[in-house]
Amino acid sequence: MPIHDIELASLAGTAALSLAAIAIGAATDKVGLGRVAMPILFLLIVATYGLYLGAELMPVALLPLNVLAGMGGGRLGTHPDHSCISTIRTL
């Protein structure tokens, strides 16, 4: 697999993580932690296993799996003390 494709997948995963942290934080503020945390945790588990197990068998799936894993990593926004909107409102 060309290094350019790997770098692009890594960049896409990082961008997805950054955007997901904001979106998940906003969703947590709106509908509550319980409704957001479990689906995102499930997404993180499935995407990470898919990334580590599936990327070798199907290198074409590296980019979408990295994006899904990044979105699952956005779960950082589900921690009540780190939700984005609550922090902004506090300031």
Residues 84-88: what's their mean pLDDT? 54
The reported pLDDT for the residue numbered 78 is 58
The pLDDT tens digits of the residues spanning 15-40 come to: 988 888 888 888 888 888 778 888 88
For the whole model, what pTM was predicted? 0.72
* Per-residue H/E/C for the chain: CCHHHHHHHHHHHHHHHHHHHHHHHHHHHHHCHHHHHHHHHHHHHHHHHHHHHHHHHCHHHHHHHHHHHHHHHHHHHHCHHHCHHHHHHHC
The reported pLDDT for the residue numbered 20 is 87
Chain-wide mean pLDDT for the chain?
79
Please check the confidence at residue 84 and state whether its pLDDT lies above 60.
no
Please check the confidence at residue 3 and state whether its pLDDT lies above 50.
yes
